[in-house]
Structure 1
């Protein structure tokens, strides 16, 4: 049941985004869909379709794993790719998320560094 709800939510979010974009165009019918898709992504309508697909994948991952887990995994991956602690802290402070989540990400960064020190 949880997987079905997750799939429905994943499909629903891009639909909601498209509906909001359509209503923002002020147009009707096919012109509204075309204008909305073109406005959603770079590269016109194709970019908008790709953007909606990406939104679907991200929302499915968030429904399955949770927002905190995904953000922490992104921070860990950035660290593995060579980002410094200072650059990651700057990025975390700029993220448009709650202060609580920022603190969790900073804590996760400290944990990553401790894990790397133990491996050496």
Structure 2
């Protein structure tokens, strides 16, 4: 299960790369289609920039929920991947629609926490 989640996250990074390459070609600008080795390191550079970027924190707020909200949102988005069909029977989930509705409803609380 962990391998499929990691592969899905890497696939999303490269789908973003393909989208940026097409937008770079359409606009005829220097973007992921011209930088690096065919633009392959671009998703990794974006991920590093996301984690190293300066974080702005509001001072009069609760720090812990403010910092945990994005983490909780990411975890909830990743556990929705359980409902996608797998070849192994141990991942079978009978009430997939109900599971999806419950997890997506919990995701509203991340906005309240932030």
What is the TM-score when the length of structure 2 is the normalising length?
A: 0.36
Bigger RCO (CA 8 Å, 6+ sep): 2
What is the TM-score when the length of structure 1 is the normalising length?
A: 0.35
